[in-house]
Amino acid sequence: MNTASAISPSARRAQEYEPVWQELAAAVDARVAAGERNLSRVVSSVYHEWRGHDVARANGVAFGEVVALPRSALAGARRALIAQTVIAACRPDTSLIVELGSGPGLNLCDVFLGGGPPGAAYAGLELTRSGRDCLTKLAALDAGFDCEARFFDYHAPDLRLLDDHRGHLVVFTVHSIEQIREISGELFEQIIDRADRVSGIHFEPVGWQIEGRESGRYSSRAYAQSAGYNENLLQILSELESRSRLTVDSIVPDIFSHKAKNASTLVTWTTAGRAP
């Protein structure tokens, strides 16, 4: 039997990402061992060591066009875009902010540090142990950051965490649904059924799923198929919208990438929800 096909899609992704997040967790440990205790300083230095902190000219993508910027500026712009978009979705009644497929948890830290609601709980739901460990180490640096990392597998989602929170939920993803070739509508139904009111935000390379954009330059069906990436997020959201389970509020194709490939498309949705 071919070993590649003998393991599950989740196990294959875990094999790929465990060592990546282990390295980031070790970078956090190194800073703490050197006496650093400030969450913001640790997150920034680890992020830029990972994504680039030099002034070399690098190509990224903004609104479907190539943009050339110093590499550190592309990395910084990406951080700001993700964090500020999530923060903008928060409201006075936001009680929980969840990232699905949160990897090392840097996005969640950026949301909190960038001005996310101080009284809300934050949660990183992630497949890999090393990713969860990295977020746990980061969250321990700031007593005011109510954040936990939990095991999560898109293929067998456990969303019981949502039952413990009332009010408005912000749930976001950053290139993690991309890892799931066919995402199930059931996942979104579970989220909607468990929460009072929900805002969903996705930065995922799905611009090619918009009718007429299949062969886009910075996200395309061909690239998604070759990488085993998601092929149905927009279709699933559209089906949920047609059944009035949610409203898709915006789709901004190929809004940004720090590389000239696999650009993120921003998709946002909301539910009307139950009365407060």
Ligand X SMILES: C[S@@+](CC[C@H](N)C(=O)[O-])C[C@H]1O[C@@H](n2cnc3c(N)ncnc32)[C@H](O)[C@@H]1O
- Measured from each CB, the residue nearest to ligand X is 103
The reply on whether position 174 binds ligand X by CB under 6 A is: yes
Query: Contact region for ligand X (CB under 6 A) — 51-59, 161-169, 170-178, 244-252?
Result: 170-178
CB of 145 vs ligand X, minimal distance in Å: 17
The reply on whether position 152 binds ligand X by CB under 6 A is: yes
Sign of CA dihedral 165, 168, 173, 178: positive
The reply on whether position 261 binds ligand X by CB under 6 A is: no
- Give 60 or 131: the residue with its C-beta nearer to ligand X: 131
* Contact positions with ligand X (CB under 6 A) in 16-75: 17
| Selected binder of ligand X within 126, 133, 204, 254 (CB under 6 A) | 126
Nearest CA among 19, 188, 209 for reference residue 100: 188
d(CA 171, CA 53): 29
The reply on whether position 219 binds ligand X by CB under 6 A is: no
d(CA 46, CA 44): 6
> In sequence order, what DSSP letters do the residues of 3-54 get, joined into one string?
HHHHS-HHHHHHHHHHHHHHHHHHHHHHHHHTT---HHHHHHHHHHHHH--S
Question: Helix H segments across the chain?
Answer: 3-6, 9-33, 39-51, 71-89, 106-113, 129-139, 185-194, 221-227, 233-242
The reply on whether position 107 binds ligand X by CB under 6 A is: yes
| CA-to-CA separations, 130 to 76, 136, 246, 258, in angstroms, rounded | 24, 10, 33, 24
The reply on whether position 13 binds ligand X by CB under 6 A is: yes
The reply on whether position 103 binds ligand X by CB under 6 A is: yes
Nearest CA among 189, 31, 24 for reference residue 102: 24
- Give 122 or 152: the residue with its C-beta nearer to ligand X: 152
- Give 5 or 242: the residue with its C-beta nearer to ligand X: 5
The reply on whether position 175 binds ligand X by CB under 6 A is: yes
CB of 174 vs ligand X, minimal distance in Å: 4
Query: Contact region for ligand X (CB under 6 A) — 35-43, 68-76, 96-104, 192-200?
Result: 96-104
CB of 93 vs ligand X, minimal distance in Å: 25
First and final CA of the chain: distance in angstroms?
55
Q: Which residues bind ligand X (CB under 6 A)?
A: 10, 13, 17, 101-103, 106-107, 126-128, 131, 152-155, 174-176, 179-180
